[in-house]
Structure 1
Amino acid sequence: MRDAGGRWKGSDAERFRSDWESTHSALLAKVIQALADAGRAAALHADAQERASSASCHGSAAAGPAGSPGNAASGPAARNLPDRTDHSVPRHPERGRPDLTPKELHRLRNMVSAAASGGNFLAGNDADVNRLREALAALKPAQLDQLLASLNDDELRQLGAGAAGDGKGWFNSEGTTPFERQQLLDQLLSKASTEQVHRLKDLIPWAQPDGTAMGDPARPEGADPSTTKSWMEPRFPVIGERPSADDIRQGQYGDCVVLAAAGAMINADTGWAREHVTDNGNGTVSVLLFDKNGHEQWVTVTSDLPANSKGAQMGAKAGFGGNWPAYVEKALAQVYTEDDSNDGTKEGTPPDQAWQPGNYRAIEGNWGPDVFQYLAGPDITRTTAADDLWEAARQGRPALVTTLVDLPESPPNGYHTSHAYFVTGLDPEGNLLLQNPWGSHYPVLTVTPQEFEDKYQDASVAR
């Protein structure tokens, strides 16, 4: 029997509801939990297998020459990922027409020549580099291709060499900063045709960072250094249909702070990845980062990623919401200037050094506020006070937490020393929830205010 609203009523209905509430719902909840546990176990096993297979050859010769594509689908975890359409927001949707006049082309070619020359000891070529960048910013993609086609290989090599210098002169102490250099490269790479992108990558060495790794010392098996210089072209999209914090899956690089910061940003704003990372459709990817003046600037890199000795992605792994974390790594490696020589290294390997922009090793083992400012802007607060961190979590602000160097007494399951986690919120009891950037299948840490002050080093909070 059903009532006027179509709901089942009567003694049979009441008996079913009673059985459901007392027995069936509990059994279903157990099944759901068992499936979730099995999924996490499978993901952990896949991660362990992938690390073991790459560790067996770390430090060996590269699987292929630099720039050669690898097998993007290798590794158990990768085979579980769907091949989806990219959902990037295009930066340059209209290519325009190659309609530069001979006079305009001549003017631009002269600007290229001035930027390529560092011979002016009074002024350097810093201003020339910036003038060229501003001129390129006004061009449509088809016009840029017209200019690039008019330049021979030697002219492009000289431009790369000139922009790679410090740009300083007698009256210019700062010179060309890494961000200014990358802004010039951004205008070239983000708009160029695929053919010209390959040409620029071949002729400008600093268009590609050094992909070697110190490794992640926080892993239970220790750091896994790599000297491979192989690159691969991933098949998974840069931006999937629904990017989320579950896409954060740290790879072989010891850059937990970078991935924790990225996780904190997308946890606070689910649209962050789509607004800050985009596939340009020409073999390049652009990432929007903050420069030292607190201004957002696009950093454009080629779409290939460092490969381990088995040909799989060495950095952050693709998630169901896309491969965007790997490009945050790559773009940051191109402009990061905060590295120091205080990172620990594996026994028997050379001591750490301060790596310059253009090296993945520069983004390994760094301090929370230093990294966070590139993703969230300069307004970063470091705190050891639980009240400050809990208030930030209640407000939904991005935050990451770092653990102690030495293992504390009675550490919770999933606690790793010298590691960074990102805040995902508060549970119903008011405890802080921390996600491991190694992946959402690792244990979530539930932290009380007293535990934070006793067992954690500090927190970095963004506005």
Structure 2
Amino acid sequence: MAGIYGADVAQLRALGKALTASSTRLTSTRVALSRDVRDASRWKGSDAERFRSDWDGTHSLTLGKVIAALAEAGRAAARHADEQERASGTRDTAGRTSTSAPDARKGSGNISFLGEDHSSPRHADRGEPNLTPAELDRLRNKVSAAASGGNFLAGNDAEVNGLREALTALTPAQLNQLLASLSDDELRNLGAGAAGDGKGWFNSEGTTPFERQQLLDQLLSKASADQVHRLKDLIPWAQPDGTAMGDAARPGGPDPSSTSRWMEPRFPVIGEHPSADDIRQGQYGDCVVLAAAGAMVNADSGWAREHVTDNGNGTVSVLLFDKNGQEQWVTVTSDLPANAYGGQLGAKTGFGGNWPAYVEKALAQVYTEDDNNDGTKEGSPPDQAWPPGHYRAIEGNWGPDAFQYLAGPEVERTKDADVLWGAASGGKPSVVTTLGEAPDGAPNGYHANHAYFVTGTDERGNIILQNPWGAFEPSMAISKEDFRRLFSDATVTH
């Protein structure tokens, strides 16, 4: 006698397969459409650029939401079929597929992308604004000392760091209490004092970019939203310069942007399932940065969630390595550089969130490795070495220089294929760069002066490379001989 079911198990399984197949077909359609939309030879002009911006910023993401919903519905139908079988004490042995197993990453299985953020809060408890008048006076004096030029011989490096250490001990509510007690002029002076190098005659290093950013981190990450706006208005270096040199590897050459515009993204910093598919390089020529971020999250699916977080007050914090190999939070405001059509100029939103764009922004604030050897568009001024606080500083740089900020000091630039294959087989994050000109016999998807990240190996022993322009770009499977002949070098982690 057949068991009693609350639903027809066979039909549930058939529905699950149909939903999963529809999700797969729509994924293929989305990839094909993305390639067509980005083919500049098919449609040129301002209307075309505006539609491409809308596609990246809205339409493609909406399709992604539908794809994910169909896939989850397919898994849900399979789970319900399993539950019906267990409840009735029977087992349907026909048509069982791997889709019946719940995806451990899905949690409750709810689809949430457009609204809910999945960051881990840094300051979950705001505390109470309970500083005494004496404590407030002590902190205000530290602010005044950090804002001044300090001793001619000693500078004000010690004062900047002393203020930062004092702010570290404050709860968000106490920090906000302090900010509310400071005038606009006091905050402007603090910004000006901390912006200097802090050097005196006997201080060879002075205030480093990371030390300045640690001070800003304590201010921005803990402040209320209205105080964040105030800090951004009064401290100019709280926001990097968003102008772009452009990506020289793109067909047609770099597309520079000379205006620093800003926009508030509509999508969360961390979506439900961050992954390497979120890497979608925008107009900046920072393929090494985005390839390094892709390599990190490909090697560790939890990397984005552990290193990027929405503070819930209009700021985002990113955990980077400083020059001493120590991890430090870099906090930036949540607005991002905008293109001429109001879309994101830099890294585009992925289905797993906007975290790559904030890795870009945080790195632009502290990057000190830029040189003046980047290529520029014909007729443009020659390149210069950009200091921290400029997106142009993170464009067109060497693999180890950028990678060390994300992976730490244990990175190695190599031309040795055996070293690269050893890292890839061990699941270590790795980035590969191409030659200055595309050689004969280059595989489909190869672009000169470009960086790719390793996603794994295939059954033939080749390594698989993904383009940071996006998962819709063709991947490349290359042999050791291909690497030696067609590529410049690699950067691997240990």
Looking at structure 1, the residues matched to 338 and 446 of structure 2 have their Cα atoms a distance apart, in angstroms, of: 29
Letter in 1 for 2:491: S
Residue 312 of structure 1 corresponds to 343
**Alignment partner, residue 120 of structure 2:** 89
Q: Offset of 1:48 from its aligned partner?
A: 4.4
> Structure 1 residues 168, 242: closer, same or farther in 2, change over 3 A?
same
Q: Aligned-pair RMSD on alpha carbons? A: 2.5
**2:29 — aligned with what?**
38
The question of 1:342 aligning with 2:325 is answered no
Inter-CA distance 390–351: structure 2 relative to 1 (3 Å threshold): same
Whether 1:116 aligns to 2:137 is no
Q: What secondary structure sits across from 2:222 in the alignment?
A: coil
**Equivalent residues of 1:380, 1:460 under 8 A apart:** yes
Q: Deviations over 1:368-391 (max 9, x none)?
A: 000000000001111111111111
Which blocks of at least 5 consecutive residues in structure 2 are unaligned? 3-16, 66-113
The change in CA–CA distance for 1:422 and 1:286 in structure 2 (over 3 A counts) is same
Contact 2:34/2:472 (8 A) holds in 1:
yes
- The reply on whether 1:187 has 2:218 as its aligned counterpart is yes
CA contact (8 A) 2:387 2:393 kept: yes
Contact 2:244–2:256 (CA<8 Å) still a contact in 1? yes
Quick one: which amino acid aligns to residue 154 of structure 1?
A: D
| Aligned equivalent of 1:424 | 455
Report Cα offsets for 1:326-385 as digits up to 9, x if no partner.
Answer: 000000000000000000000011110000000000000000000000000001111111
Deviations 1:430-450 (A, max 9, x none): 111000000001000010110
Out of 54, 60, 63, the residue aligned to residue 77 of structure 1 is: 60
Q: Which runs of structure 2 are paired with 1:384-423 in the superposition (5 Å)?
A: 384-423=415-454
Counterpart for residue 14 of structure 1: none
Matching residue of 2:476: 445
User: Equivalent residues in 2 for 1:19-34 (5 A)?
Assistant: none
Query: Which residue identity does 2:390 align to in structure 1?
Result: N
Partner of 1:139: 170
Change (3 A) 1:106 1:354: same
Change (3 A) 1:72 1:56: closer
Match of 1:152 in 2: 183
Alignment partner, residue 224 of structure 1: 255
Instruction: Give per-residue Cα distances to partners, 1:396-442, cap 9 Å, x unaligned.
Output: 00000000001111110000000000000001111110000000010
The residue number in structure 1 matching 2:315 is 284
Give, in angstroms, the shift of residue 183 of structure 1. Answer: 0.2
1:172, 1:267 → 2: CA distance?
42
User: Which residue of 2 is the match for residue 11 of structure 1?
Assistant: none
Q: Which residue of 1 aligns with 2:267?
A: 236
Show the counterpart of 2:303.
272
Runs of 5+ unmatched residues, structure 1: 3-24, 59-69
Match of 2:387 in 1: 356
Q: TM-score, normalised by structure 1?
A: 0.88
Kept after mapping to 1: 8 A contact 2:30/2:63? no
- Give me the TM-score of the superposition, normalised by structure 2: 0.83
Matched residue, 2:364: 333
Amino acid in structure 1 at the alignment position of 2:303: W
> Structure 1's 455 and 387: CA in aligned 2 closer, same or farther, altered over 3 A?
same
The answer to whether the 8 Å contact 1:105/1:147 transfers is yes
Amino acid at match of 1:320: F
Asked if the contact 1:241–1:321 (Cα under 8 Å) also holds between the matched residues in 2, the reply is yes
Pick from 236, 243, 247 the counterpart of residue 205 of structure 1.
236
Amino acid in the other structure paired with 2:170:
L
Identical columns (%): 70
1:54, 1:310 within 8 Å by CA — same for their partners in 2?
A: no
Q: Distance in 1 between matches of 2:317 and 2:423?
A: 30
| Alpha-carbon separation, structure 2, partners of 1:379 and 1:202 | 38
Secondary structure at the counterpart of residue 115 of structure 1: helix
Counterparts of 2:167 and 2:46 in 1: how far apart (Å)?
42
Partner of 2:326: 295
* Cα shift readout 1:2-25 (whole Å, capped 9, x = no counterpart): 9xxxxxxxxxxxxxxxxxxxxxx9
C-alpha contact 2:30 2:60 (8 A) present in aligned 1: no
Shift of 1:47: 3.7
CA distance in 2, matches of 1:420, 1:55: 30
The answer as to whether partners of 1:413 and 1:443 remain within 8 angstroms in 2 is yes
